[in-house]
């Protein structure tokens, strides 16, 4: 009688094999079951147990397609990047955590960790990806400095010493996340990110509607147009926002405009991250990568479309003849954009 391999092993052993296999990145149930030589049903049951115990999570669950990742997988979105990149990036991040604690005697904040790592990669010309994401440039990995993953994931050092450069960068960085972001935006001339920071400051103050309008207009001029679908959404958002900001009830629309902007920024920067990381994925994992990318971009695109449509519906009720636009350059620019948008509709 034929005996399946999993019948010779206990459940704990099979679960350990699953976790070991998922070290290299996310996988479908089918691929995991093939790798550990167990049937689909058994693999699915053990994955459910691991999920309940907080060891794994479903990265994608769409119809028959179920893709799982380890919860301690440090790569953003669980993207299956090349092992060399994963190992070297992890080594760099762990060394920064180690040196920061030795020098500063405190734990390093996550934002500071990423900003130092980016600077070290640039200064040492390390062959590691640097990616534009939600809060500026980051590495491909996101790890919580409160945890030491060195015993879980393999590390690989670099030729030549990077410790001196790490120590040099530590002197230049602080524990203040906002200041770290702004310093990076200025250092690498990240104009769009600087504008975003100014806009969000104005949203928090909720005092100067004209400044919010001005920063929105400036961002609209810098907003990348290499993805037509995302660009057109932001264009509609800008037109609707200008209408609402110049209506007599402008203040009551601020939260909706801010939430919509956050949503669009999330979409833009997520798309940017996936575009940048694509070259770091193994060829055999490109189908999986595209599944992960498609899942995230489509869901964020749908949410953004819904929020922009809602904002657009409200702005359509605004009487154009009663707009409170002032006779200054920003207002003239606003009216120009607004009227162009209305004519296109």
Contact between 115 and 173 under an 8 Å Cβ cutoff? The reply is yes
Structure tokens at 69: 């990742």
CB atoms within 10 A of CB 89: 25
Per-residue pLDDT of the chain (345 residues; tens, 9 = 90+): 333 444 566 788 889 999 988 887 888 888 898 888 888 888 889 999 999 998 999 888 776 678 898 888 888 988 999 989 998 998 999 899 999 999 999 999 999 999 999 999 999 999 999 999 999 999 999 888 876 555 555 566 776 689 999 999 999 999 999 999 999 999 999 999 999 999 999 998 877 898 999 999 999 888 888 888 999 999 999 999 999 998 888 888 999 999 999 999 999 999 999 999 999 998 988 988 998 999 899 999 999 999 999 999 999 887 665 555 555 565 555 555 555 544 444
Judgement on whether residues 9 and 59 belong to the same structural domain of the protein: yes
Judgement on whether residues 166 and 204 belong to the same structural domain of the protein: no
What pLDDT is recorded for position 338? 53
Dist CA 114 CA 136 (whole Å) = 9
Number of domains in the chain: 3
Sign of CA dihedral 306, 308, 314, 317: negative
Dist CA 61 CA 68 (whole Å) = 9
What pLDDT is recorded for position 25? 82
Of 143, 163, 187, the last residue of a domain is 187
For 128-138, the pLDDT digits (tens) are 999 999 999 99
Judgement on whether residues 241 and 98 belong to the same structural domain of the protein: no
Judgement on whether residues 135 and 278 belong to the same structural domain of the protein: no
Of 146, 170, 187, the last residue of a domain is 187
Neighbouring-strand partners of residue 16 = none
What pLDDT is recorded for position 331? 55
Judgement on whether residues 9 and 58 belong to the same structural domain of the protein: yes
Q: Which of 168, 117, 126 minimizes the C-alpha distance to 145? A: 117
Judgement on whether residues 232 and 173 belong to the same structural domain of the protein: no
Q: Which of 292, 241, 286, 287 minimizes the C-alpha distance to 270? A: 292
Q: Print the domain residue range for 139.
A: 77-187
Dist CA 76 CA 288 (whole Å) = 14
CATH code, domain carrying 33: 1.10.10.10
Judgement on whether residues 335 and 217 belong to the same structural domain of the protein: yes
Structure tokens at 230: 């995302």
Judgement on whether residues 263 and 299 belong to the same structural domain of the protein: yes
What pLDDT is recorded for position 5? 47
Judgement on whether residues 263 and 290 belong to the same structural domain of the protein: yes
Judgement on whether residues 45 and 13 belong to the same structural domain of the protein: yes
Cα–Cα distances in angstroms (integers) from residue 309 to residues 254, 283, 306, 313, in the given order: 16, 38, 5, 6
Of 58, 73, 88, the last residue of a domain is 73
Judgement on whether residues 134 and 83 belong to the same structural domain of the protein: yes
Going by the DSSP 8-state scheme, the letter that residue 129 receives in this structure is: -
- Entry pTM: 0.84
Judgement on whether residues 137 and 177 belong to the same structural domain of the protein: yes
Dist CA 214 CA 140 (whole Å) = 34
């Amino acid at each position: 009688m034929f005996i399946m391999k999993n019948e010779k092993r206990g459940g704990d052993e099979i679960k350990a094999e699953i976790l070991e296999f998922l070290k290299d990145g996310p996988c479908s149930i089918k691929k995991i079951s093939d790798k550990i030589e167990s049937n689909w049903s058994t693999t699915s049951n053990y994955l459910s147990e691991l999920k309940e115990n907080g060891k794994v999570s479903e990265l994608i669950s769409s119809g028959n397609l179920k893709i799982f990742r380890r919860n301690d997988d440090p790569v953003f979105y669980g993207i299956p990047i090349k092992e060399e990149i994963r190992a070297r990036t992890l080594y760099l991040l762990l060394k920064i955590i180690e040196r920061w604690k030795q020098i500063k005697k405190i734990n390093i904040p996550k934002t500071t960790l990423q900003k130092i790592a980016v600077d070290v990669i640039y200064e040492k010309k390390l062959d590691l990806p640097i990616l534009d994401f939600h809060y500026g440039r980051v590495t491909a990995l996101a790890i919580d400095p409160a945890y030491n993953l060195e015993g879980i994931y393999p590390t690989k050092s670099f030729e030549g010493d990077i410790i001196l450069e790490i120590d040099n960068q530590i002197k230049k960085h602080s524990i203040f996340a906002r200041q770290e972001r702004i310093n990076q935006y200025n250092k690498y001339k990240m104009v769009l990110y600087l504008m975003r920071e100014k806009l969000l400051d104005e949203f928090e103050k909720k005092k100067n509607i004209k400044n919010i309008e001005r920063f929105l207009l400036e961002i609209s001029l810098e907003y990348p147009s290499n993805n037509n679908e995302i660009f057109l959404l932001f264009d509609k958002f800008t037109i609707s926002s200008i209408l609402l900001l110049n209506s007599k009830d402008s203040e009551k629309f601020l939260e909706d405009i801010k939430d919509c902007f956050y949503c669009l920024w999330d979409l833009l920067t997520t798309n940017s991250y996936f575009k940048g990381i694509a070259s770091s994925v193994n060829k055999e994992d490109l189908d999986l990568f595209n599944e992960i990318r498609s899942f995230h971009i489509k869901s964020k695109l749908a949410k953004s479309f819904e929020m922009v449509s809602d904002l657009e519906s409200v702005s359509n009720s605004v009487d154009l003849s009663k707009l409170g636009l002032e006779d200054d350059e920003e207002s003239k620019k606003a009216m120009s954009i607004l009227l162009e948008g209305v004519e296109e509709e």
